[in-house]
Amino acid sequence: MPVRVGIPRALYYHRYRVLWHVFLTELGAEVLVSEPTSKQIMDAGISCCVNEACLPVKIFHGHMESLKTQVDRLFVPRLTSISRDEYVCPKLGGLPDMLRSSIRDLPPLLDHEVNLRKSPESSWQSAKAIGKELCSDPYRVRRAYEMALTVYRGVRRMQISGMLNLGSQEREQVCSPKFRIAMLGHSYLLNDPYASMNILKKLKSKGVKLITTEEMDPRIIREQLHCNMKQPFWNHAREIMGSLSFLLQLGILDGVMYITAFGCGIDAFVEDMAARMAKGFGSGIPWIRIVLDEHSGEAGTDTRLEAFLDMMEGRKSHAHHFSPNGEYLYPCESHAGRFGP
């Protein structure tokens, strides 16, 4: 009988789902992914996780709770560094230990470390260790790893070219969208409709073209960082700073939306750095920050989205007489750079 491996639909699942799914399936495992986040899952996570944790980590705990009785193993890779010379948040490196101490009766975890900063071979070493636990044939493990990488790279190429997210209606919007907004934030928040209160879908339905860091070519991000700034330490910071720098230089943005989670230590720095960068461009570009937590009310967030769209509309039709903070300016008072975020 195949081993049943559970993958929580949270955190880096949203980025690596294809890679993980193909790899485990090719090894002969039966993969079970938890249901999309719901109130029950979030509540389960809140009740078993420590209070100080950020929202995505609490949600991850909820997904683990929902899966633990249905599977033989749980897949929780210990992610320390997922790209050269960069680190991910320390909460993710310590996640398997946190889970073991917070949740009772967990099945064994597949928690092998990926640390590309230590060794470029680290992801293969981790795959080999997982392979040993699930199948006895080393050739099959190598094949599964290579196939998973090939499929994942193909999906990334499509994502970067913007093809994946574009339905036919959306394609028309791309040609002449009402607004273009840089959507900054963790992919695991943006791609979780419940946690993010469906912000992406709501904005798209209003004719807004959203540009996320996932769609940006990593080569462009590296080039921007190399030319324009000191290299940030965190992977998340590099993606945001490199993407924003490129988009601001292109001059195509009508606004910037920064989605963050209550309790995110990294965003406490990164958001401020990004806001200063936008201000430094002197365009007075409209900027909104939305903080998500377990108590976020959807009605309040919807009102803020509407107000943000109205402000961008106002700035489009009255040139720059609306400040990025929503305050009306007389023409003689407005000048670039004065009203930053």
Indicate the DSSP class of residue 223.
H
* Partner residues linked to 212 by β-bridges: 183
Is residue 265 at the binding interface for ligand SF4, with CB under 6 A as the rule?
Answer: yes
Which member of 5, 10, 54, 114 binds ligand SF4 (CB under 6 A)?
54
**Contact 187/214 with Cβ under 8 angstroms?**
yes
Cβ neighbours for 261, distance < 8 A, ≥ 6 positions apart: 54, 55, 56, 186, 189, 267, 291, 292, 293
Which member of 8, 45, 56, 284 binds ligand SF4 (CB under 6 A)?
56
Q: Which is nearer to ligand SF4, 166 or 275 (CB)?
A: 275
- Residue 135 CB burial class (10 angstroms; 0-12, 13-18, ≥19): middle
Minimum gap (Å) between residue 177 Cβ and ligand SF4: 29
Stretch that binds ligand SF4, among 66-74, 106-114, 126-134, 264-272 (CB under 6 A): 264-272
Residue 165 to residue 171: CA distance in whole angstroms = 9
Q: Which is nearer to ligand SF4, 24 or 49 (CB)?
A: 49
Say whether 192 sits in a helix, a strand or coil: coil
Q: Which is nearer to ligand SF4, 109 or 309 (CB)?
A: 109
Q: Which is nearer to ligand SF4, 14 or 140 (CB)?
A: 14
Is residue 266 at the binding interface for ligand SF4, with CB under 6 A as the rule?
Answer: yes
In the numeric block, which tokens belong to residue 306?
A: 């509407």
What's the longest Cα–Cα distance across the chain?
Answer: 75
Is residue 57 at the binding interface for ligand SF4, with CB under 6 A as the rule?
Answer: yes
Is residue 79 at the binding interface for ligand SF4, with CB under 6 A as the rule?
Answer: no
Minimum gap (Å) between residue 48 Cβ and ligand SF4: 16
Stretch that binds ligand SF4, among 51-59, 96-104, 123-131, 328-336 (CB under 6 A): 51-59
Render 100-121 in DSSP notation, one character per residue. HHHSSSPPPEE--EEETTT-TT
* Interface with ligand SF4: number of residues (CB under 6 A): 13
Minimum gap (Å) between residue 282 Cβ and ligand SF4: 30
Residue 254 to residue 312: CA distance in whole angstroms = 7
Residues forming the site for ligand SF4 (CB under 6 A): 54, 56-57, 89, 91-92, 186, 236, 261, 264-267
